[in-house]
């Protein structure tokens, strides 16, 4: 294992998720093939159609990020539990983190340029940039020396200033500040930060108890259609509608498998040596091909609705992987075996669930979607482990790793930094010209994604991290 004891594969997976999330949101709409967008909002009109089944690469973005979030719990929370920090303290910290992420979701949604004015103007762009700067004292621990109370005072002051700005701004179309107007992706992450963390804390050291929570969550969802039942009451109950709905807990089906993967990684890091078993050099190469084949093959098969063909090909690839890893005894191969076996099980489970609820889809999400995307996330983590931790290809993927180490900066960089700067420089009209051609429309997404990644990489290089 590398001397600095960091699982760069997890950073790379998180970076891939966040950058493809940006790419999917910045490519030109309406003119690219249907598989370049969410399957349920096809071009050219992009109207939501829940009768469309299948998934695209865009539908993997959010589950991969949720999976990486869960995989980080054993490193961030598990390390503290193992070090003797009490469960009560960590439960309080989980609630605080959820509250901060909820504020973050509300804050950025109100400071997007299109929220502030339509069409966007210099005032909106400058406010967005200013709002981005204010996020640093909110979520970053300053590198210069301050007593603990000083850091807390700066943080509290920044949150207070941010709240005052939100309630006093004027918005486009006569909109007023509202707690209910928030970024849904970050709001789901806030709920997962609370519920996922709490489940992990309370089941620490008992991973199968953690997994055992999922059938109870499933039972509530399946029973929520029965009017008058206590399950229906539990499902509908929300003390703060703008912050929590039981419906958000469906993503535990992705976060908790991520926790299992994180446990595998952590165990490997504790036990692995720096040496590699070079007797079976073909294994990592074959696994790279296998994992990519499983991910791309299932995307194509499920999107094109070649369901039986996709199932047969998936089974053949998984059987080949089982035979390949059967005799593996090295530190890396033991990890790869766990990731491949668990991912393969979840992937097959998802394919067997495919016919349930009509077919796989992201919206409204199905059990097939949770299991398939979790299984593919295991395969992606295995791929990045080989590329970043086994082979010396870390430098080639450094932009993914560094973006993954500062994901929230990358997430807001397009809307709060890149587009405002381009607007102030008078370059947005030229950017809009790219929307008239499919290839140029894709190039637009690549350019904006690389610029956003550059912002995240810059702050990672100078070690300015947001701890959301």
Q: Write out pLDDT tens, residues 279-316.
A: 567 899 999 999 999 999 999 999 999 999 999 999 99
Distance CA 155, CA 298 (A): 45
* Residue 468 covered by a domain: no
* Residue 2 covered by a domain: no
The pTM for the full model equals: 0.94
* Residue 466 covered by a domain: no
Task: Using pLDDT thresholds of 50, 70 and 90, give the confidence band for residue 431.
Answer: confident
Range of the domain at 124: 8-272+279-461
Q: Are 100 and 193 in contact (CB under 8 A)?
A: no
* Residue 443 covered by a domain: yes
Distance CA 438, CA 290 (A): 31
Average pLDDT, the chain: 92
The proportion of the chain whose per-residue pLDDT surpasses 90, expressed as a percent, equals 82
Distance CA 404, CA 457 (A): 9
Residue 147 has a pLDDT of 82
The total domain count for the chain is 1
Of the two residues 232 and 149, the one the predictor is more confident about is: 232
* Residue 333 covered by a domain: yes
* 224-233, 338-347, 424-433: range with highest mean pLDDT: 338-347
Compute and round to an integer the Cα radius of gyration of the chain: 22
Mean pLDDT of 219-235: 94
* Residue 467 covered by a domain: no
Residue 278 has a pLDDT of 56
Residue 273 has a pLDDT of 58
356 pLDDT above the threshold of 50: yes
> Whose CA is closest to 115, among 174, 179, 29?
174
* Residue 27 covered by a domain: yes
* Residue 3 covered by a domain: no
Structure confidence by residue, pLDDT tens digits, 168-207: 999 998 899 999 999 999 999 999 999 999 999 999 988 8
Of 138-142, 224-228, 263-267, give the lowest mean pLDDT range. Answer: 138-142
3 pLDDT above the threshold of 50: no
């Amino acid at each position: 294992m590398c001397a600095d004891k960091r699982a760069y594969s997890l950073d790379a997976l998180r970076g891939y998720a966040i950058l493809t999330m940006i790419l999917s949101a910045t490519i030109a709409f309406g003119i690219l093939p249907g598989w370049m967008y969410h399957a349920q909002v096809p071009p050219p009109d992009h109207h939501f159609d829940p009768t469309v089944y299948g998934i695209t690469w865009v539908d993997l973005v959010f589950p991969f990020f949720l999976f990486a979030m869960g995989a980080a719990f054993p490193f961030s929370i598990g390390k503290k539990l193992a070090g003797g920090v009490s469960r009560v303290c960590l439960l309080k910290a989980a609630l605080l983190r959820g509250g901060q992420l909820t504020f973050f979701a509300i804050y950025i949604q109100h400071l997007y340029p299109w929220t502030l004015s339509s069409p966007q103007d210099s005032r909106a762009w400058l406010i967005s940039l200013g709002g981005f700067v204010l996020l640093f004292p909110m979520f970053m621990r300053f590198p210069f020396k301050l007593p603990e109370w000083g850091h807390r005072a700066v943080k509290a002051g920044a949150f207070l200033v941010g709240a005052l700005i939100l309630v006093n701004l004027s918005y486009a179309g006569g909109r007023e500040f509202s707690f209910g107007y928030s970024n849904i992706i970050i709001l789901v992450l806030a709920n997962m930060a609370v519920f996922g963390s709490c489940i992990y804390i309370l089941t620490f050291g008992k991973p199968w108890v953690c997994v055992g929570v999922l059938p109870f969550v499933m039972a509530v969802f399946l029973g929520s259609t029965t009017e008058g039942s206590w399950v229906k009451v539990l499902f509908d109950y929300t003390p703060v509608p703008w912050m929590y709905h039981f419906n958000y807990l469906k993503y535990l089906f992705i976060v908790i498998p991520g926790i299992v993967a994180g446990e595998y990684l952590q165990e490997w890091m504790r036990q692995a040596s720096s040496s590699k078993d070079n007797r079976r050099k073909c294994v990592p190469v074959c696994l790279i091909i296998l994992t990519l084949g499983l991910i791309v093959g299932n995307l194509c098969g499920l999107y094109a609705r070649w369901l039986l063909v996709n199932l047969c090909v998936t089974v053949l690839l998984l059987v080949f992987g089982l035979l390949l890893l059967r005799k593996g005894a090295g530190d890396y191969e033991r990890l790869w075996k766990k990731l491949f076996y668990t991912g393969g099980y979840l992937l097959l489970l998802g394919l067997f669930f495919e016919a349930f609820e009509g077919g796989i889809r992201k919206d409204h999400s199905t059990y097939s979607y949770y299991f398939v995307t979790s299984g593919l996330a295991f395969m992606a983590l295995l791929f990045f482990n080989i590329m970043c931790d086994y082979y010396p290809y870390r430098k080639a993927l450094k932009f993914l790793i560094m973006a993954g180490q500062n994901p929230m900066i990358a997430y807001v960089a397009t809307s709060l930094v890149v587009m405002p700067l381009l607007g102030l420089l008078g370059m947005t009209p030229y950017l809009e010209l790219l929307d008239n051609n499919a290839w140029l429309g894709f190039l637009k997404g690549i350019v904006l994604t690389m610029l956003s990644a550059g912002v995240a990489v810059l702050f990672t290089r100078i070690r300015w991290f947001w701890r959301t």
